[in-house]
Amino acid sequence: MSSRIVPTILSRPVYGTLTPTTASAHLLIADADGGTAILDLAKAAPAGFFDSAEVCYVPGADADFSDELQQLSPRQFHTSPTIQALLPRLSRTFERLHMGTSVYLAGSESLIGLATQSAMQAGLDYQALQTEHRGTLARRVQCVHCKGTTENVTTQPAECAHCGLLLFVRDHYSRRLAAFQGVNINAEDPTDVPPKIEEFT
Amino acid sequence: MSAGHRLLGAIDVVVTDVVELNPEVKRFHFARPDGQPLPAFSGGAHIVIEMKDGDVTRRTPYSLSSSPFETDDYQVSIRRDDNGRGGSLYMHRSVTPGMAMTISHPSNLFSLDKRATRHLMLTGGIGITPFLAQTAQLIRTGGEFEVHYGFRSHDVAAYVDELTARIGHRLHCYADDQGQRIDYDRLLSSQPAGTHVYVCGPTPMIDLVLSKAKEHGWPDAHVHFEHFAKAPPGEAFTVELKASGITIAVGEEQSLLEAIEAAGVDAPYMCRGGACGQCETAVVEYDGELLHSDHWLEDEERSAGQKIMPCVSRFRGKRLVLDL
Amino acid sequence: MATPAASLPFRDETFRDDFTFRNSPETVLRAPFPFDKDSYMYAVNMELHKDGRPGTAFEEPIDVDEHYVSEMRDRALVLDEDPLRCQSLPHMTLAGWDTLELLMTCKAESYPEWFSLERNGDQWRWINRPLGIDDTFTFGDETTLPYGPLEYITRQAQGDFCVLDERQGNFWMDAGIVTTQADWSLDFDIGMNFFEWHAPVPLAHEKGIFKRALKYLLSIQQGNPARRLNWTMTVNPRLDTSPENYHQWGPENTHITPENVGDKLYLRIELQSFWRLPRSNALLFPIRCYLLSMHDLTTVPKWATRMHRVLKDLPDEIASYKGLDNYRQIAIDYLAPYDDGKPTSKGPFPD
């Protein structure tokens, strides 16, 4: 399965395919369908790869690969109920990491974005991370007006969960905020309310 | 003979001191003739020194080794190279206190990554010079670092005493003649997240560190190296500059870029060491062999024969035409 | 903020609400008109920023004009409402000090009657007479200033300032103060590289403009600043056309009529300059905004003619990206009588 993401503007992230490295330690982080990217990587991984691997996984309601991942017998296997619940652990994990540990992120753009943000806060360059998109196209969107971030945005336009403005969701993306930019779509004429289309599913 | 265009961002200086650190290395001190401060700079920066050696004008980059916060006194340390084009020999033999010289503004192609939680500096021989400035900067602005310094023997290790006094236990020395070697595997496998590694030294050392870093899974963004090529001497040759409509001669100890400048033709440059890409020039046609010495062009670009870096590369053959 | 002495030649005016901003005839004539020919397309239009032409905005390296004091008052209002308009990632403090030194030195040299800087080692005394500031501080010690070094000095300098960190052969926008922007958000773009923050610009990536521009910018060395001009249009003399407040000023885009276009629609010129900073090796990127109403343009026949031709021939994608769709035709119609169809003289300056 390959990502359905089409490259548009240069700030819009694009993702690759996870490839096992020969590093001495591995940290793999995934949510929902991202679990299948780890399972695919396992097929190409050398023997003993998972002896030095930690896997952090957030199962999805319709996509739970916990059992299959656990069967890979990673040195450490951890599940979290949500991405938000995983973040405090991730932050500490990245702080303790040694340079040279390979980091693999797979699943929704929210998972990849928030894990990247956590790694960058620990001083890792984002280009040090392998990423693969699988599953939903739902977006995290920062409202440029009120600065609130709305999770799991699937429509274009979308309502800001904080200030209620109707936002056009741009492809312009901030790694620092792990969010796409939302800009009021009908500022020039607030009575002009375009229909919402399910675009990011 | 024309001296060529004035050096970009030229500063007139006077040599205030020349200190012999050991039989191979001399340290040169520069100040402004009027005593005003020189421009501030960043650790890792280099200056281009213009040397008027008889008919030949050489312009060679050297790392600044003084503290970026001491702008009354620029220092560079130069190892004598008996097989080079003669720049270091000129500096060692002919430059004396009181001489007027011209240098460029500092520019930096080996800057610290200021996001780093820790800086690991690996160096050999005269490659220590940029780290002298960088450690001075980090002591002033704050930042964790350690320096691993390899050299043939203590007789030629120019800066051990000074650095020991300044940075103490953060300096680790390795003398070849005592069988001491930097343990790259141990160093590169034990650094905490957020560490950046810097290497400056002989080419084999740089190549080794880069391959070890890759082997240990270091991402490129955390690995920094100073890879100045030296413009090598070679056979004299001629070159046609198409846009200028002239043909010029390049002497045995002159670089192609220096010859272009001496002819009064404006050519862009920055590092003069084959690293920065600014002087990349299109080859219109040639019959012979392009002798590439840079670290800029990709292998495919070299074999395509359409580009040359005149700061360090040369030519052997019948005819070379450049788009200049 | 202190009130400037009445003898100083600075206007007391607003860039919001009642919009009392006006250009004097002298200020119109010295504006950096952005079109050097009768059409416009993206280009790497860089040139060295030195040897300033007398009587123009290029005369001094950092230009101070009659709007200085009022612009600084507007900036303070914006920062009070939204402190996110000035941000600096943790590794950019040294570049902030470099910026402070550059701006203080340039201003004190160019305008000694208004600004002075006394340096005694790290002990500096800075006097800004138009704004009534006289501060003594320790260079390099943030605790001796009321704000961080970047915010301190750019609260006293017209235009937006971006500070770019150089890494991996690219520039990263890791600090800045942005209150007079053409619809982009520092809070969103901070941390992006050169290609990422320019990503939304149409056409120019395909033409390789940004690759060439980046190569040029990377070559900029201390002591050799460069500049280029950019432009857009703005309804009302509003400096702070931010995306943050777009829902508030956006409706004004529909308010242009043939009757009010002369006084209400402005050519918004950006004089962008690029300075290599010494201690941080960062690049300072000031974006200074000049506003000329359509009526101001008609006082310089060559400029009115040229503006007419540029607007008429502008590619639609660029017009839409710049947000001109609501009023482009109205402006063309307003300027048409000033275009006699004859060739204009070379270069951007008035005849």
Nearest chain C CA: its distance from B272 CA (Å):
12
Q: Which of C227, C228, C288, C306 is catalytic?
A: C228
Using 50, 70 and 90 to split pLDDT, how confident is the model at B105?
A: very high
Q: Do the chains contact at A123 and B190, CB–CB below 8 Å?
A: no
Check if the beta carbon of residue C289 is closer than 8 Å to that of residue C239. yes
Nearest-CB residue to B106 (from C89, C215, C222): C222
Q: Do the chains contact at B270 and C221, CB–CB below 8 Å?
A: yes
pLDDT exceeds 50 at position C2 = no
- Encode chain A (201 residues) as per-residue pLDDT tens digits: 456 888 899 999 999 999 999 899 999 999 999 999 999 999 999 999 999 999 999 999 999 999 999 999 999 999 999 999 999 999 999 999 999 999 999 999 999 999 999 999 999 999 999 999 999 999 999 999 999 999 999 999 999 999 999 999 999 999 999 999 999 999 888 899 999 999 999
Using a CB–CB cutoff of 8 Å, tell me whether B141 touches chain C: yes
d(CA C199, CA A54): 36
Domain A26-133: CATH architecture, name and number where available: 3-Layer(aba) Sandwich (3.40)
Q: Do the chains contact at C279 and B268, CB–CB below 8 Å?
A: no
pLDDT exceeds 90 at position B54 = no
Nearest-CB residue to A127 (from B116, B215, B219): B219
Domain layout of chain C by residue ranges: 25-338
d(CA B43, CA B301): 32
Query: Which of A92, A97, A98, A99 to mutate to test binding with chain B, by most B CBs within 10 Å of its CB?
Result: A99
Domain layout of chain A by residue ranges: 26-133, 139-198
pLDDT of residue A73: 97
Using a CB–CB cutoff of 8 Å, tell me whether A79 touches chain B: no
DSSP for residue B23: S
Q: Do the chains contact at C244 and A174, CB–CB below 8 Å?
A: no
Q: Is the peptide bond before B61 cis (omega within 30 degrees of 0)?
A: no
Nearest chain A CA: its distance from C3 CA (Å):
32
Nearest chain A CA: its distance from B223 CA (Å):
11
Q: Do the chains contact at A97 and B192, CB–CB below 8 Å?
A: yes
d(CA B106, CA C279): 10
Nearest-CB residue to B218 (from A94, A99, A123): A99
Domains in chain B (CATH in brackets) are: 10-108 (2.40.30.10), 118-225 (3.40.50.80), 237-322 (3.10.20.30)
Nearest chain B CA: its distance from C275 CA (Å):
12
Smallest CA–CA distance from B117 into chain C, residue: C91
pLDDT exceeds 70 at position C3 = no
Smallest CA–CA distance from B223 into chain C, residue: C168
pLDDT of residue A189: 87
pLDDT exceeds 80 at position B256 = yes
d(CA A171, CA A169): 7
Residues 6+ apart with CB under 8 A from B35: B72
pLDDT exceeds 50 at position C93 = yes
For B152-181, how does the pLDDT look when each residue is reduced to its tens digit (9 = 90+)? 999 889 899 999 999 999 999 999 999 999
Query: Which of A116, A169, A172, A191 to mutate to test binding with chain C, by most C CBs within 10 Å of its CB?
Result: A172
Q: Is C228 a catalytic residue?
A: yes
Q: Do the chains contact at A95 and B193, CB–CB below 8 Å?
A: yes
For C201-236, how does the pLDDT look when each residue is reduced to its tens digit (9 = 90+)? 887 777 788 888 898 899 898 888 999 999 999 999
d(CA C201, CA B160): 53
Residues 6+ apart with CB under 8 A from A189: C251, C254
Using 50, 70 and 90 to split pLDDT, how confident is the model at C162?
A: very high
ipTM of the complex: 0.94
Q: Tell me which residue has tokens 């949500």.
A: A82
